[in-house]
Each structure stands twice: as C-alpha cells, then as structure tokens.
Structure 1
Amino acid sequence: MLLPNPVKQNYDEEIETQRATNDIHIGGVNGKNTKHWDTAHEFKAMVLLVLGWGLVGVDRFMIMPIFPVMAKELALNYKDIGVIAGALSLAWGASAFFTGRLTDLIGTKKVLVASLIVFSLLAGVSGLATGLVGLVIIRAMIGIAEGGYAPAGQIATLQVSRPDRQGRNMGIQQMALPLLGMALAPLFVVQLLHAGLSWRWVFALVMIPGLLVAALMAKVLRAKSDEAIEHTAIHDHADHKWFDVFNYRNVPLQIVMVMGWMSCEMSMAAMMSSYLTDYLHLELVQMGFVLSAIGFGAAAGAVVLATLSDYWGRKPVTFIFGIVDLCAVVLLKNCGPDQTSLFLYLFLVLFCSQGLITIGICLITSESVPAKLIGASNGITIGICEIFGGGIVPILSGFIAHKIGIENFFYLPMGGCILGIMVCLFLQETAPRIVAAREAAARALAS
C-alpha cells in the first residue's frame, strides 16, 4: 500500500522536548552543531560541485550546435541524431538507477571523482569517431559516467550545505548544468566552429578542465559527511531496502511527472539546432544565439521556481508553470524565423521545464522519503526519467522528424507538458514552510 507523507506520531512532543533542551533540529542538523559549521569547507566544496555539474552539462550538450556540422561529415540523418542523443540518456538513466544506492554505501567523493575523470576523457575521445556506431558507443559510455555523477552531486550538495542554505545551494548547483552546458557552451562552440576549428578538436578541449576539477575534488571533499543529509521531514532513521522508496506516494507520482518535463526539455535539446537551421533556415551564428536560450532559461528556472516553491508550495508552482510551459511550446511551434521571438519562447520553455524538474527530483523526491533512502530515491528517479524522457523521447523525436517532418517533433514536448500537469494534481505537498503552516492551523482548530 502506498503511504502518505508521514511524520512521527509524537513529533510535536519531540519538538517540545528538543526546545526544552536547546537541541532543536534545523534541516536535520542540531542547532548547536550548525553554530560551528565549517563555512570555509562549504564554500570550497560548493565551488567544485558547481563546476563539476557544469562540466557534465558541457560534455553532454556541447554536441547540440555540432550536430549540423557533424551530420554533413559523417552522413547522419535526423533519426541518427536522435539515436546519438538517446544513447547517452539511456546509459545515463541506467547508471543513475544503480549508482544512487552505491553512493549511499561508499560515499559521494569516490563516485564524483571517478565519474569526472571518466567522462572528461571520453568527451575528448568523441572527436575520434568516424561513424554512427562509434559515436553512439562513446556517447553511451559518457552517459554511464555522468549518470553516476548526478545523484552523487545532489547528495554531496546537501551534505556540505548548512541547513538554512540547502535550498539556495541546491538551486545554484542545479543551475550550473544548463548555464554552462546549454547556454555558454553552444555560444563558445559556435564561435570556435565559425573560426574554422574542427569539431573534433572542440571535443578535445573539454578534457582539461574536467581532469583539473576532479583532482581538486579529490583533495578538498571529505570522504564522508552526514551532517546535513537528514533534512527530510520524515523522521525515520532506520535502514530500508532499495525499493522501499515506492512505498511513499509522491515517489511514483513525481517520477511520471518529471518524465513529462524531461520529454519537453530533451526533445528541444536534441532537435532544435536542426529545426532552426534546416526548417527555419537560420545561419550557424544565428542558430547558436537562439539555442543559448535553452541554457539561460533552464539556469534561471532552476533557481527561481525552486525558490518560489518554498513560499507558494511545490504543487501550486508545478501546476501553474506546467500550464505556462505548455503555452510556451505552442507559441514556439508557431513562431517564424524571428530570432528574438524564438529566443524568448525557447527561454520560457526551458525556464519552466528545468525549474519543474529541479522541484521534482531535488526537492519533492528528497522530502518524501526517509534520510537513508535519499540516494536510492534520487537515483531511481533520475534513472527512470532519463531512460524515458532523455533516452526514448529524443529517439522518437528524431524518428518523427525523419518520417513526417522536423516541424512536427513539437507534439512530443506538448504531450509531456500535459502529462506533467495532470499528474501534479495528485501530489502531496512537501514544502516545509507550507506543511508547517498547515499543521499549525490544524492544531489551532483542534484546540
């Protein structure tokens, strides 16, 4: 039977006892311990975690503006492009599914450092590909490494963050991937290609920063740090089995919901560059400008919507901006080759999609399960959503573009938005501020 979002039966009495002993929990950390928090380590660790997640984005999405150039040299069609994008996401999802639990067992540091080294080296190897098969194999291997980084990076961000800064730090960490990978990397890559640098050498350039950040992480991050991980509202510190996560109602619901938002985001990431150049006939530099809206919009949405959900609630923000996301996709589909309009509509699509993904995976997932299931829950969520939303959907997008025209791939992100909007209606609210206010109001009525 699916359980609601429970709290201890004696939670109120426990809080009163903690107040009496001046030992109140704030985000899972005792007030007296928070007072002596190592802020210097938090700052250094957050810089590296932000850079590491940003490099994941660079390695994953720098291929977007390269696709049209690569397609001509390697004789790739739209279906092939979808397969290449889907292979990385499928491998990412399968890897995250298992490494989330692995991170709970061996710690975040080992997983993060190993992942960074492997995917940085493989990104450089991408430039050696001579055909579809080799490129798919290399991108799939990159997905395995990056899939291991995803849940470990989220958990590490919680671990190093002081409780009253967890939300802000998580938003900043999640912002790094779209900002560096979807916004700045396409602009940088387009300029390199425009200057005459081969796409093969562009891939090789990304190895150096990845290896450098991995070395610094190995030196700075602590092997294990559990101080801030028990931030969940479910006061259950017992050991649990891996698949116990599905006993908590919000987990299966938000998995389906996030699949919808990822369908929107990943189909845009896979197909927009070709849509802009082949259907709307934009030049390479113009395409790079419009495509950067994906990153800027996603980066802004990750921070803004996650912050708004602290005050308005996870469920209302998801519903409202889910509708906005759907409207933005429709406007983008019907927009002509005007660069400014394309940029604004694409910005809004990714602003909503990435913000809602952040709320679903990083907040609702973590707040809906016991502390010792956070890694497993995040890993399973990322895994399933990547396999479907990030893996199957780009392949379907490429198939649709190849068979009935690239302008028709927009129906997939529309369907994803509708799915997310419908499912969010059944979620239980988990925002601490909203839940606490409701509990206080219930106690006031009862008295």
Structure 2
Amino acid sequence: MTATTAAAGSRTADRYENRLLVILFLSFGFVFFDRQALSFLAPYMDAEFGLSNAQLGTLSGVLALTWALAGMFAGRLSDALGRRKPILVAAVVLFSLFSASSGLMGGFAGLLAARALMGTAEGAVLPMAQSLMVEASRESRRGFNMGLLQGSSAGLLGGIVAPLAVVWIAETWNWRVAFYVTIIPGLIVAALIWRFVREKSPRTLAEAPREPREQRAAAVKVPLREVLKLRNIVVCMLIACCYLTWFVTIITFTPTYLTEVKGFDPGTMSGVMTCLGVAWVLWGFATPAISDRIGRKPALIGFTVLAVCCPLAVVYVESPVLLGAIMVVTYTGLGCFTLFMATIPAETVPRAALATALGVIMGVGELAGGFLGPMVAGWASDQWGLQSAMFIAAGGAVAVVALCFALKETAPAVLRRRAAAVPAESAA
C-alpha cells in the first residue's frame, strides 16, 4: 500500500512539474518578448525621435536598473513571506500594462519612464519562476528544466517570435501598435498562473516530512550575509555582471549595427536576429542538459569560449547568411545564464534562501551589466563607432571564462562520481 501510494504521488509530482514548466516557460518567454521589442523597433522609433546610441543604451539600461532593484527586493520579500505565486501574478500583469504604455509615449523622456516601470514589474518574474521550478523539478531534470524556463523560452518568444512579429507589425501598421499588442499574452499567462500554479509543489510537500527536524528548523530564515559568504554565490554575481554586459549590449546594438553600418534592410536584419533566437532556443536547454552530465563548471567554460566569438562575427562577417549561421553556433551564452543565475545557486544555498540568492545574483548582474554596460557601450559607440559595442560585449565574455575557474562544482551526478572514485582510489 505504501509503495502504491508513493508511486501515485510520484506521478502526480511529475505531471505538475511538466505543467508548471509550460506555464513558466510562457511567463518568462513573454517577459523577454516585451524586453526585446525595443531593440527591434529602434530603427522605426529613431525615424520619429532621432535617438542617439547613448539614448538607446540608456533605454535598455534603465530597464535593467529597475529590473535589478525589483528582483533583489522581490526575492527577499518572497523568502520572508514564504509566498511566490501572488508576487508572480502581479508582476506579469503589471509588466504587460507597462510594456503597452511604451506605444503611448511621445518622446525619449516618456519612453524612459515606461521602460523603468516595465523593469520594475519584470524584475520579480525570474526569481519567482526559478524558485518555483527548482522545487518542483526532479534532480535528473533540474538543469534541463531551468534551461527551458530561462533560456529556451526567452529564445523562442524573445529571439524568434519577437523580431518576426514586431517588425511585421511595425511594417504593416506602425511601431506603436507593436507595443500595444504585448498586453494580450501577458494577461492570458497571468490567468494561467493564478489558476494552475501552486505555492508548494507536490514534490516539495512529499519530501518535507523526510527532512531532518534540524534541517527544517534551520530553513526558517537565512540572513543575506550568510548567503554572501558562499564563494559560488559571489562568483556567480561577478559572472552575471560580465555576462549581462555581453548579452544586453548584443541585443541592444546589433539591430542598429546591421541596418546602419552593414546596410541590411529591415527584413534581412530581422532574419539575422531570428538566427540569434534559434541559437537561444537550442543552447537554452542543451547547455544546462549537458552540464547535468559533464558538470556546471566545464560547461560554463566551454560554451562561454564560443560566446566570445558572437559579437566579433557581427563586426567581421559581411554575408548575412554566413553571419546567421555563425550566430547559431556561437550565441551560446543564454544557455549559460541558467547555470550561474539559477542552477548553481540552487545547488549551493539552503532552500529557504533560494529566492534571495537568485534575486541578488540577477540584481547585481543587471545593475552592472544590464544598466551600466549598454550605457557605456552606447557612449563608446557615439565616440568611436558601433563596433565598439561589439568589442565590449566580447570582452565581457572573456572575463566570464576567467571567473569560471573559481567556481566549485555542484552538479549532483558529477559529485557522486567523484565521491565514488575516492574509495576506489583508496582501495587501490
């Protein structure tokens, strides 16, 4: 009877895991659809507002600033209250409203305000979604699930659907309409979260009674200072700063670089940017899945070496077909994001500090790489040309490779193999 009950509970937990993955996949995917829309619509907005590269960088940067602050606050608030679902629902509704408001603005100041409000709402989504997903995931699928949630979702909806959809809408009607339509999927996703997402997953509820009493008591509250004493958390924060510089600089300035420097028409630019989305989807789940087997650290190092080449290809490859193919191979960083922003921290900190750790890593990374990175890249581009932004992005990835060597391995399968190897070596 006990075995039958356990099997039924396992099947229930597995079904919920898959359902939660679909809902959170859509949630974070539409976050990035909204975030990416500005970059793809920049050439159309520039014709009306005359935005400089520095102003374009500032628009991306202010969203990252408020995203960072909101992520850190929401993560800490969630752990303090023990609630995630209400925060996630409110965040999804608000970012949809604020994204649509960008289409109402008549100048740079209005756009700046709309993007700041949008970042305030969006910043809470990722820490809530990641912490819900990691608790519902089987150990063997942890990296894979987190990769689909954070990497592939953003790649599919933000990297493939967004450039095709928003450019088509802007060409058919105008860029303002492209912002207006973003409200619809956000409200649908918010309703799905409210209806189907649970505060505690069946897997968490099933495992709680088996935890030692001391462990459950210690999990009530973990001070932030204790989280920041963990080496992996500090290293992941530094990696986030450099990798966000790589990512935000590429997505902010590549569409403008392709149209203004290389002379691509909007359709060709959209096609090349869609190749980034294809790579985003592919590596978004492949990189974490590979890390489940070979380890988080070697996966981060290897795939980041490839990521260094992506912005350099934007500068040096002239053929749009060849450039798109190279981007598919080298735009590997978004798969790495899942590792240092979610999987490694989740395998490092106690469960009660999970949302706090995820919020801090995302927040610090967005402040340094997402806020300051594009502003510096925009200023440098106005001084020395848009290629400066691409070199800054490549430099961020180089710094990540160096930082990865300071990480401690956390992949459960790798740690088990190492532990099994020690007695064998001792016996020999």
Q: Common fold, TM-score beyond 0.5?
A: yes
Counterpart CA distance in 2 for 1:394 and 1:33 is: 50
Given the alignment of the two structures, is residue 343 of structure 1 paired with residue 343 of structure 2, yes or no?
A: no
2:384 to 401, 404, 415: 404
Question: In the alignment, does 2:96 pair up with 1:115?
Answer: no
Do the aligned partners of 1:89 and 1:391 also contact (CA within 8 Å) in 2? yes
CA distance in 2, matches of 1:368, 1:348: 30
Change (3 A) 1:252 1:329: same
The gaps in structure 2 that reach 5 residues or longer are: 209-213
SS at match of 2:106: coil
Equivalences for 1:239-278 in 2 at 5 Å?
A: 239-278=221-260
- Distance in 2 (CA, whole Å) between partners of 1:119 and 1:300 is 26
Which ranges in structure 1 are unaligned for 5 or more consecutive residues?
1-21, 24-29
Q: Indicate yes or no: 2:63 matched with 1:83.
A: no
Q: How big is each residue's C-alpha offset from its partner over 1:74-115, in whole Å with a ceiling of 9 and x where there is no partner?
A: 121111100001110111011111111222224221011000
Name the aligned partner's letter for residue 397 of structure 2.
Answer: C
Moved more, 292-301 or 54-63: 292-301
Q: Does 1:138 align with 2:114?
A: yes
1:326 aligns with 2:305: no
Deviation for aligned residue 1:287 = 0.6
Compared CA separation, residues 275 and 222, structure 1 to 2 (3 A): same
Check 1:399–1:89 CA distance in 2 against 1; reply closer, same or farther (3 A cut).
same
Cα offset, 1:158, TM superposition:
2.1
Query: Does the CA-based 8 Å contact 1:158-1:228 persist in structure 2?
Result: no
Alignment check: 8 A CA contact 1:326 1:417 kept: yes
Q: Which amino acid aligns with 1:252?
A: V
| Contact 1:305-1:317 at 8 Å conserved across structures | yes
Give the distance between the partners of 1:180 and 1:283, measured in 2 at CA: 22
1:161 alignment partner, one of 134, 137, 141: 137
By how many angstroms is 1:236 displaced? Answer: 5.1
| 4+ long deviations beyond 4 Å | 30-34
- Letter matched to residue 149 of structure 1: V
Q: Does 1:66 align with 2:41?
A: yes
Aligned to 2:357: 377
Taking structure 1 as reference, are residues 311 and 41 closer, same or farther at Cα in structure 2, changes over 3 Å only?
closer
CA distance in 2, matches of 1:325, 1:207: 33
Q: Which range moves more in the overlay, 45-54 or 217-226?
A: 217-226
The 1:256–1:66 alpha-carbon spacing in structure 2 relative to 1, beyond 3 Å, is: same
**Alignment-mate amino acid for residue 29 of structure 2:** G
**Distance in 2 of aligned mates of 1:212 and 1:184:** 17
Tell me which residue corresponds to 1:172. Answer: 148
For residues 296 and 60 of structure 1, do their structure 2 counterparts lie closer, same or farther at Cα, with a shift above 3 Å needed? same
| CA deviations over 1:20-74 (Å, ceiling 9, x no partner) | xx99xxxxxx977853534443333322211111110111111211001101101
Q: CA deviation at 1:340?
A: 1.0
Counterpart-to-counterpart distance in 1, 2:237 and 2:6: 33
| 1:431–1:44 distance in 2 versus 1, CA, 3 Å | closer
Distance 1:40 1:321, change over 3 A: closer
Structure 1 CA distance for aligned equivalents of residues 18 and 7 of structure 2: 20
CA RMSD of aligned residues (A): 2.4
Aligned residues: 416
- 1:368 paired to 2:348: yes
In structure 2, give the amino acid aligned to 1:210. G
In the alignment, structure 1 residue 417 sits paired with structure 2 residue 397:
yes
The answer as to whether partners of 1:159 and 1:226 remain within 8 angstroms in 2 is no
CA–CA distance in 1 between the matches of 2:367 and 2:128?
18
Change in Cα spacing, 1:166 to 1:425, as seen in structure 2 (3 Å) is closer
Is 1:103 the counterpart of 2:49? The answer is: no
Verify: 1:186 aligned to 2:163, yes or no. yes
Counterpart of 2:278, as a letter, is F
1: distance between equivalents of 2:146 and 2:8?
21
Amino acid at match of 2:251: A
How does the TM-score come out when normalised to structure 1?
0.88
TM-score, length of structure 2 as denominator length: 0.91
Q: 1:442 to 1:31 in 2, by over 3 A?
A: farther
Distance 2:6 2:371 in 1: 43
Q: For the Cα contact (< 8 Å) 1:162–1:228, is it kept in 2?
A: no
Select between 162-171 and 242-251 the one with higher mean Cα deviation. Answer: 162-171
Does 44-53 or 370-379 show the bigger shift? 44-53
* Matching of residue 293 in structure 1 with residue 275 in structure 2: yes
* Cα distance change, pair 236–353 in 1 and its aligned pair in 2 (3 A): farther
